[in-house]
Amino acid sequence: MLSNQKEILVSILTPTYNSEKFVSLAIASVQAQSYSNWELIIVDDASTDGTLALVTKHAQVDPRIQVHALTQNSGTGIARSKALAVAKGQYIAFLDADDLWQPTKLLKQVAFMQTHQLPFTFSYYDCIDEQGRPLNKRVTSPRVVSYRALFFCNYIGNLTALYDAEYFGKIPISSVRKRQDWMLWLHILQKIKTAHPVPESLAYYRIRNHSVSTSKFNLLQYNFAVYRQFHGLNFVASLLCMQLFLFVQLAIKPFYTHKIKA
């Protein structure tokens, strides 16, 4: 199922939209990887700032980076789908323009997948603020994530996921603007039933000032849409699932967020 580690190309999908403040740092974190067999596919979602020009400059000096541009703003799902369509790697990874990877992320994750013969895995991650300062918070997960557990809580950080396209094929990415990552992991676990994390932090998730509080209600609406559209549940069943989702978020998931030493 998994070929020799040295022969595996990893395709990294990065959508950008008005990301000029952070995207160079994200790119640098990929270029700093101790695992060098990767391609970074950036799809700009009709940015109105200097993002497209900036990422194009990066691509001009590093042939492992390619840039594609959408002519109208379409959302991260469409941008990731465009990147996936041109990806050549056996492994598919995800990195948003404002997040970062630790230098050993790919090396450790590919080795973990090969050692344990896994077609999909993820890892823990640490949180940073908008300026990149540590928030001394680590997000972990259960050591085994089942489909049932994932159904009521997205334990998998998008910036940490890695799947084997030789095993699954290129899995279509939903065009919805939020929660398409959760739907992708649910699709994967419908097939393999359980997922196992690399039990250490391998990435940094940036918490943006404008998104800390204003997006919570909107995310609940997208969560409800996942139950209605992806799972095909009726309105009442979706409401019941949302109640269980909220219970897990408030009563269980906090146990997987840990304070770490500065």
> Residue 3 phi/psi, 5° resolution?
-85, 180
212-243 pLDDT, tens digit each: 444 666 678 888 889 998 889 999 999 999 99
CA distance linking residue 168 with residue 192, whole number of Å: 10
**8-259: CATH, from 3.40.50.300, 3.90.550.10, 3.30.2020.30, 2.70.70.10:** 3.90.550.10
Residues above pLDDT 90, as percent of the chain: 84
Q: What is the DSSP string of 135-195?
A: EEEEE---SSEEHHHHHH-----GGG-EEEHHHH-------SSSSHHHHHHHHHHHHHSEE
Buried b (16+ CB within 10 A) or exposed e, 19-55: bbebbbbbbebbeebebebbbbbbbbbbbeeebbebb
Q: Are 54 and 26 in contact (CB under 8 A)?
A: no
| 120-154 residue pLDDT tens | 999 999 999 999 999 999 999 999 999 999 999 99
pLDDT of 8 higher than 90: yes
Tell me the CA distances in angstroms from 12 to 16, 115, 152, 225, one per residue in order: 13, 22, 27, 27
Q: Give the other-Cβ count within 10 Å of 91's Cβ.
A: 25
Q: Please check whether residue 137 is in contact with residue 127, taking contact to mean a CB–CB distance below 8 angstroms.
A: yes
Contacts for 184-187 with beta carbons within 8 Å, 24 or more apart? 185/150, 185/154, 185/156, 185/161, 186/147, 186/150, 186/151, 186/226, 186/230
Query: What integer pLDDT is reported at residue 212 of this predicted model?
Result: 42
CB–CB of 137/253 below 8 Å? no
d(CA 205, CA 201): 11
